[in-house]
Amino acid sequence: MLGLVLGTAVVAWGADLLTKEWVLASMAEGEQRAVLGELLQWHFVRNPGAAFSFAAGSTWIFTTLAAAVVVFIVTQVRRIRSPLWAMAFGGLLGGTLGNLTDRLTREPGFFVGHVIDFIQVWGFPAIFNLADVFIVSSMIGVVLLVLLSIGLDGVRRTDEPKRQRAVDLDATQPLDPEDRP
């Protein structure tokens, strides 16, 4: 699964990087372009904070958190045996690396760089980028996998072990009422 995690991460990070470089090369900061009328627009902004430019003066915190997410994923990647978890972790890793790259390499400087955002969707109050799309999509996937009780090994956890335990007990031992099938 290591290959799937890394492959997904590279695709996410690469797509994010390429689109940001395209925006920097073809648009002026603050410029808006209609793509699908008002439904979808490109709107180039530099974001010093988190979503909705929240905590703009605390860029270093988001850089540190992004680095921690990368370290966490890298330490967990060998445990993954599920393609769904591999894609979720890969998308999260690639998206996090995309925004972390901005924090480390963009103006105003190392560790406090502003993230390039450019996607504006009608009715949605934030402007975002492909890294954000990968992060949010991956986190939705993680939540679904957890809600479905699917482990990193791809096995769905149910109450089956409790029932199986009753079957495995020695027949000469009295069964606890909770252990009866």
132 is known as an active-site residue: yes
From the list 16, 102, 132, 179, the catalytic residue is 132
From the list 16, 102, 117, 176, the catalytic residue is 117
117 is known as an active-site residue: yes
Q: What is the DSSP string of the chain?
A: -HHHHHHHHHHHHHHHHHHHHHHHHH--TT-EEEEETTTEEEEEEEESSSGGGTTGGGHHHHHHHHHHHHHHHHHHGGG---HHHHHHHHHHHHHHHHHHHHHHHSTT-TTSPPEEEEEEETT-S-EE-HHHHHHHHHHHHHHHHHHTTB-TTSPBP-SHHHHHHHHHS-TTSPPPGGG--
Catalytic residues: 117, 132
